[in-house]
Amino acid sequence: MDVRRRSVLAAGAAGAAVAIGGAGTASAAALGAQHDHRDPDSLRELAGKTGLRIGTATSPQALTIPARAAIVAGQFSLVTPGNEMKWQVVEPTQGVFDWSGADQLVAFAKANDQLIRGHTLVWHNQLPTWLTTGVGDGTISDSQLRDLLHQHITTEVSRFRGKIWHWDVCNEFLTDSNPSMIDPNRFWAAHLGEGVIADAFRWAHEADPGALLFYNDYNIGGEDGSNAKADAAFTLVRGLLDQGAPVHGVGIQGHLDTQFGWSPQRLQQDIERYASLGLKVAITEADVRTFVNNATDQVPTSSLELFAQPYEFSEMLKAALAVPECVSFTVWGFTDADSWVPGVFTGEGYATPYDVNLNPKPAYFAMQSDLRLAAFGAPKRAHTRTPHP
């Protein structure tokens, strides 16, 4: 997620195993281990009927609140650490590692029969200060920087070998321009060149050959009217495949805003296009923001947004369901109480499927309805007599 841009517990939490401990690594025993009575109408159970993993980004802090932990466990079959696997967090001081947050989320997911998306290995944001300062003042050369990146990827992926379903290996390398291209001014390309992308995928694959490796970006699924950035993403991953790089999928972030145009048809076409390369596809960071009264209550200022927000969530999900190669759909935080949107986009919010009080919103019920139809199909019509002339 690039923070600089962007064109009731009763809802299925029953019977979930949840984490209620504080900081540090949680044990499976502390988290509980009963999965026998999941709500059949929860998002995770309905999505599971189609093979789609439905996910959310979350944090260890959120999981210390029983009501939030219960929703994560009961509604979702896939977890993304919002920050806990980023380089800035796991190695705040060079050579000194803090895996506590990541370990807690991995333990929570294991206890609740969930998979994990690792996020993210190579990104120009949220890098440790010791790294960016060293590069900036010349005490870390570009050659040393390459070695440090190799070491970082190997260390982190190896630590969680066999525990991560997908890794977002490289995140947000493309420009928002038309035509779009790899941004030569962003940190990694500026210092190590475009070849660092293929190298990163190779290093990650060497550390865990069983993990699926994704390129992840925003505005590459119908948000861009020209589809220029989606074109660039397609060209990028096709080129990586031509080089023999172990790329397995494309992550479409899916950050939408109801004030901007967006084409669900183009989203499906883009998913199909990435899939045509033999790749898996994932919606990785879905949310739909709109204008709200304030950052605390997050009530839309227009009643029309009460219809627009769930519509766009529904259309995103239906596009994902329509293409078998789309294997997961993740919302970027499930509750407005934790959403990143109000802190970044002044005057906007209401971006998730649950409100600030943890009540499911119309978007939740729209997604639930879509998943129910995908899982079971429309019921057959009641038999009626027909007239015979």
Tokens of 197: 């992308």
- Is 312 known to be catalytic? no
Any catalytic annotation for residue 156?
no
Q: Which residues pair with 55 in a beta bridge?
A: 78, 330
What is the C-alpha separation between 261 and 202, in angstroms, rounded? Answer: 37
Closest CA to 364 of 316, 310, 327: 310
* Beta carbons within 10 angstroms of residue 379's beta carbon: 7
- Dihedral sign of CA atoms 313, 126, 328, 105 in order: negative
State the catalytic residue, choosing from 172, 223, 305, 315: 172
Backbone conformation region of residue 119, classed left if phi is above 0, alpha if psi is from -120 to 50, else beta: beta
Backbone phi, psi, residue 317, to 5°: -65, -40
User: Which phi-psi region, left, alpha or beta, contains residue 254 (left: φ > 0; alpha: ψ -120 to 50)?
Assistant: left
Closest CA to 160 of 118, 195, 121, 192: 118
Classify residue 114 by its DSSP letter: -
Task: From 363, 142, 113, 139, select the one nearest 256 (Cα to Cα).
Answer: 363
DSSP state of 174: B
- Which listed residue (45, 223, 285, 315) is catalytic? 285
Distance CA 153, CA 202 (A): 10
Does 296 sit behind a cis peptide bond, omega within 30 degrees of 0 on the bond before it? no
- Annotated catalytic sites, by residue? 172, 285
